[in-house]
Each structure stands twice: as C-alpha cells, then as structure tokens.
Amino acid sequence: MDDTELLARLLGGDEQAFTELVERYHSTLVKIARYYVGSSASAQDVAQETWIAVMRGVEHFEGRSSFKTWLLRICVNRARTLGVKEHRSIPVDTNESGPSVSAHRFDQGGLWSEPPVPFTDAVDARIDRSHLVAEVHGAIRSLGEPQRAVVTLRDVEGLTTQEVAELLTLSEANVRVILHRGRARVRSIVEEAAKGTKP
C-alpha cells in the first residue's frame, strides 16, 4: 500500500495505517533528527513529536508535496528548533575541495598509474554483495558533516537533490557538490578496505 492510500486511511482514524507509517518512517525520522540534536534520546523525542504533529495536522495536509517530504520537513523543523535550544550548530562546510581520487594515483599526464580494482570480481569475489553493503554503510557513517547528511538522505533514503536541498536549507548546487565529495570519499574508504582483504 502506498503512502497516499495509508494517508487516506489515517484521515479516517485507522490505527493500522498509522502503525504502517510508523514502521516505514520512524527510523528515518530518528536518523534525520540526530543530525541536529545532541543525543539519541533527543532524536527519539523529536521523532515522537513529529508523529504527534502528523496526527494533529493530517487533516490540513494539502498534498502539495509528497507525504514523505511533508513528514521529513516537520521533523527537520522540530529538530532544528531543539538543536538551537541545545545550542548545537551544525557546521556547513561547502568549501571542501580536493580531487575525488588522490593525486598520487595518476601519472604526470593525468592517466591512472594505480587504477581502481573492481569491487566484485566474478572469479575472485573479494567483496561479496552483502559485505559491500555493510562496508558502504559503515563508510557513510564515518563521513563528516554535511556529507553524511547529504549522502544518507540522497543515497540511503532516496530523496531527490531538490528535497535534500530544501530539508537542509542548502542550494541544489551545494547539495550536488557535497554529494560528489561524499560519494568519492565513500568509494575511497571501501577501496582501501578491499585492498586490506586482498589475499
């Protein structure tokens, strides 16, 4: 059942629809809130407040954005407010530059001197798929901000660049640059780990 159907049932006070939405989005809300507030407990509180706001506001939801964007926006607004109260500020460093791949991997002419090795090799499955998934998620968690927030929202939660920009109050161009750096960093972390497990 998609969100629109669940929402229609929620309007009628359907508890099962509410439960399904909670199961679908609660973890995402906690993860997003965690970028703004100081503790997991605070993030849980923000997620809970978000659901209360949904119960109160669902009748006024006009469907101009998707339910998911509406929900996440409520969450971000509440988390920001709490983050400000907790005197937390998220440093947004969009000036980070530097190449996607370390310069020493190329020769003077700009050609690979140390080329990338495929992650999955049919003959010698150095990293199998589930291992790769775990490596990538670990690498994302190790990113600094705002890369972690952008890569999580975009690649893990599947939001569009425009949605991420709205949620994090960044320009779309900034989101693209941050995503580019974040993914490049994840690739290099996973590649290093793969080298380490080479037989």
Binding site for another protein (CB under 8 A): 13, 15, 18-19, 22-23, 26-27, 44, 48, 51-52, 55-56, 99-101, 103, 106, 109-112, 115-120, 129, 132-133, 135-137, 140, 151, 155-156, 158, 161, 176, 179-180, 183-184, 186-187, 190-191
Taking the CA of residue 107 as centre, how many other CA atoms within 13 Å lie in the half-sphere pointing to its CB? 5
Q: Quote the least distance from Cβ 87 to another protein, whole Å.
A: 27
Give the span between the Cα atoms of 76 and 164, in whole angstroms.
11
Diameter over CA atoms, the chain: 67
Nearest to another protein of 34, 183 (CB atom):
183
Q: Quote the least distance from Cβ 139 to another protein, whole Å.
A: 8
Name the nearest CA neighbour of 60 among 45, 49, 70. Answer: 70
Give the span between the Cα atoms of 18 and 55, in whole angstroms.
9
Kindly list the distances between the CA atom of residue 166 and the CA atoms of 75, 149, 152, in Å, as whole numbers in the listed order.
13, 13, 15
Q: Quote the least distance from Cβ 89 to another protein, whole Å.
A: 27
Helix or strand run (H / E) with residue 166: helix 161-168
Q: Which amino acid is at 103?
A: A
Nearest to another protein of 2, 59 (CB atom):
59
Q: State in Å, rounded, how far the first CA of the chain is from the last one.
A: 46
Q: Quote the least distance from Cβ 142 to another protein, whole Å.
A: 13
Nearest to another protein of 88, 191 (CB atom):
191
Structural contact between residues 148 and 136, judged by C-beta atoms closer than 8 angstroms: no
Q: Quote the least distance from Cβ 97 to another protein, whole Å.
A: 11
Nearest to another protein of 79, 127 (CB atom):
127
Q: Quote the least distance from Cβ 76 to another protein, whole Å.
A: 19
